Copies of this chain bind each other. A is one copy, B any other.
Amino acid sequence: MSIITLTTDWKANDFYVGAVKGSIISECPDATIIDITHQIQTYNIAQAAFILRNSYNHYPKGTIHIIGVNSENSAKYPCVAIKADDHYFIGAANGIFGLMFDEKPEIIVKIKSNNDLLSFPELSIFSKAACDLAKGKNILELGEQIPKLSQQIPIMPAIDENVITGSIIYIDSFKNAITNISSDLFYKVGKKKKFDILIKSNSNKISKINKKYDETSIGELLAIFNSLNLLEIAINKGKICELLDLNINTTIRIKFYDNTDN
């Protein structure tokens, strides 16, 4: 029994989702189809990469993930099937895979297709390729293997002695701000020093890391290492991104203090 997941920007009020699911279930009646989301912002490959990167690893090895975001088939952005971390990914090589994987995927195949229905490759190409894999076809039989993908490199935090300068990379449904600062980096740079987390200006300051949201009173600023091990800035029961007007790429600085600073 194969699992095929869908991550798209089609929204849920159109015929695209229904058509692709029908096409998969016709070809692979035994496959389990799972919606990861159809609410990616139109063409937003960074959001799609973030969501899929933090979802796919909870699925069993061998799961097939279709990505329908900004995916017109073209010479510039060909349709590809990828094997990475023992999962399969099918989408357009539009930069999304560079945002998803830290390392080069194990196998990259440019999918060969006789179907020239170019405006809806998820129906004509992706779902066929997914079903081929689901039925046990080897990924190398889907087309020609290619050595690498054009990359978009995610922005990494900068480190300058006692300061980490990171940025917001994702705003979740609760309007909490997730940054690119990992707990590993935080403890490596900061050791056990005192610190201030500065949000935008010096006046929005947090000086401790919570284990839980509700250690802090309702309405107060707080910081937490979330389920992704990334620093998340929030307001207990509030919407920090609306209140402080935080956006993707807003700078978050952490200043560590030597004992002599005290």
Contacts and interface: CB of A to CB of B under 8 A. Distances in A.
Contacts of A257: none
Copy count, this protein chain: 3
- Tell which of A37, A38, A123, A211 has the most Cβ of chain B within 10 Å: A37
Contacts of A22: 5, 34, 55-59, 63
A173 B11 contact: yes
Contacts of A21: 34, 36, 58
Interface residues of A, number: 68
A119 B214 contact: no
Interface of A: 1, 3, 5, 7, 9-23, 25-26, 29, 32-43, 50-52, 54-60, 63, 72-74, 76, 116-120, 123-124, 172-174, 211-214, 224, 226-227, 232, 237
Given A15-B36, A20-B58, 19 more contacts: A1-B29, A5-B22, A7-B18, A11-B173, A12-B38, A13-B40, A15-B54, A15-B55, A16-B172, A18-B52, A19-B227, A21-B36, A22-B55, A29-B60, A72-B213, A76-B214, A118-B211, A119-B213, A119-B226
